[in-house]
């Protein structure tokens, strides 16, 4: 079965990026949000990104119009009944994901493939809660979705081989590179990335270096595109705390434990770029490190 009609659940940071790349690759794309305000915000972000691409000479105005023409938004779950593939990118909460998949299970034909962009929850648990566990895979995209070239495709012990191959082929149609991974918490990227960024927070807590120095160290010493604390601000401190908690629950290892500073920053509303403050303050023209976070009284 060739996948041509895609349904994306959620039009937030990840969902809007996923919907954009699907529409940009010529797939008829329908994206769902819980209300019109959030939907307009998400679609507005896509439009802004595409306009930025035109300004940078990365795509033509005709490409942008074609992409927007392939993209529609809805707040009605029933509208997704004709989709070949569902990609879920709603809030990282097992109950919320199970609820939406439960409803779609009765709306979509048996052939529709279900997938989740979860970065920490179990694909097996989600798949097993539906009536189509063999037609369920993990499709894990990276932030910012339109620029990051990788998608992790995760199977479970319940996944049909043909469905897995169709998912791999679909990722190819998006112009992304698919890697195969099994449904183990964190897959490959986050299993390696999460302990690294949590350790950067611990290094800051322990006074090994200041915010800017830790970031410069990994950028210039290892050639990483951005430092770990800048990356944390991009991913979101609240999201990272949640992922750390799920990983720690699974592995019970210190390297996955959420550092005290990160927890307190989340409690204080320092969620990263999305709230305008995290390890850096984003209110001015250029980000300024919040050195007071570890300063003395
Ligand atoms: N449309 C089209 N292209 C655009 C664009 C737009 N609106 N905006 C930027 N670009 C292009 C630029 O033109 C540039 O292209 P070239 O390389 O051809 O010149 C490229 O994108 C990079 O853009 P910038 O020069 O503006 O920015 P940058 O060089 O600072 O790179 C970045 C930005 C790609 C985000 C880079 O810093 C990076 O790769 N950071 C690491 C991100 C990362 O690690 N993400 C994973 C997070 S973990 C995750 O997501 C998983 C999870 O589960 C938590």
Residue 297 pLDDT: 54
Strand partners, 281: 277, 288
Q: Is 119 in the pocket of ligand 1 (CB under 6 A)?
A: yes
Q: Is 56 in the pocket of ligand 1 (CB under 6 A)?
A: yes
- The alpha carbon of 37 and the centre of ligand 1 are apart by a number of angstroms equal to 27
Active site residue 190: yes
Q: Is 190 in the pocket of ligand 1 (CB under 6 A)?
A: yes
Active site residue 70: no
Within 8 A by CB and 6+ apart from 61, the residues are 54
Nearest atom (ligand 1) to Cα of 120: 53
Strand locations in 98-159, DSSP E? 113-116, 136-141, 150-155
Give the pTM.
0.95
Q: How many CB atoms lie within 10 A of CB 95?
A: 8
Task: State which of 24, 60, 140, 147 you would mutate to test the pocket of ligand 1, scoring each by most atoms of that ligand within 8 A of its C-beta.
Answer: 147
Burial pattern 151-163, b for ≥16 Cβ within 10 A else e, equals bbbbbbeebbeeb
Distances (CA, A) of 269 to 143, 256, 278: 21, 22, 8
CA 238 to chain centre: 13
Q: For the chain (length 297 residues), average pLDDT per consecutive 10?
A: 93 96 98 98 98 97 97 98 98 94 97 96 96 98 97 98 98 98 96 98 97 98 98 96 95 97 98 96 97 81
Active site residue 241: no
Active site residue 33: no
- Residues 253/256/258/260 CA torsion (nearest 10 deg): 60
Nearest atom (ligand 1) to Cα of 14: 50
């Amino acid at each position: 079965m060739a996948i041509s009609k895609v349904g994306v659940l959620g039009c937030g940071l990840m969902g809007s990026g996923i919907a954009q790349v699907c529409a940009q690759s010529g797939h008829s794309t329908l994206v769902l949000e819980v209300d019109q305000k959030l939907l307009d915000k998400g679609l507005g972000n896509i439009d802004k990104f595409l306009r930025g691409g035109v300004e940078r000479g990365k795509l033509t105005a005709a490409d942008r119009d074609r992409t927007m023409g392939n993209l529609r938004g809805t707040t009605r779950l029933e509208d997704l009944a004709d989709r070949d593939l569902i990609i879920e990118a709603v809030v990282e909460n097992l109950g919320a994901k199970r609820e939406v998949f439960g409803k779609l299970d009765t709306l979509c034909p048996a052939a529709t493939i279900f997938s989740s962009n979860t970065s920490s929850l179990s694909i097996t648990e989600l798949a097993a809660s539906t009536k189509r566990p063999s037609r369920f895979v993990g499709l894990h995209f990276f932030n910012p979705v339109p620029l990051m070239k990788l998608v992790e495709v995760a199977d479970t012990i319940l996944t049909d081989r043909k469905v897995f191959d169709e998912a791999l082929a679909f990722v190819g149609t998006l112009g992304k590179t698919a890697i195969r991974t099994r449904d183990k918490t964190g897959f490959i990227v986050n299993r390696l990335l999460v302990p690294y960024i949590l350790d950067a927070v611990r290094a800051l807590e322990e006074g090994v270096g200041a915010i800017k120095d830790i970031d410069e160290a990994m950028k210039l010493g290892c050639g990483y595109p951005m430092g770990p604390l800048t990356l944390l601000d991009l991913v979101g401190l609240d999201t990272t705390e949640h992922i750390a908690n799920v990983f720690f629950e699974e592995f019970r290892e210190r390297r996955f434990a959420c550092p005290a500073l990160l927890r307190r920053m989340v409690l204080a509303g320092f969620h990263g770029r999305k709230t305008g403050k995290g390890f850096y303050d984003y209110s001015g023209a250029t980000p300024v490190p919040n050195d007071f976070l570890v300063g003395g009284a």
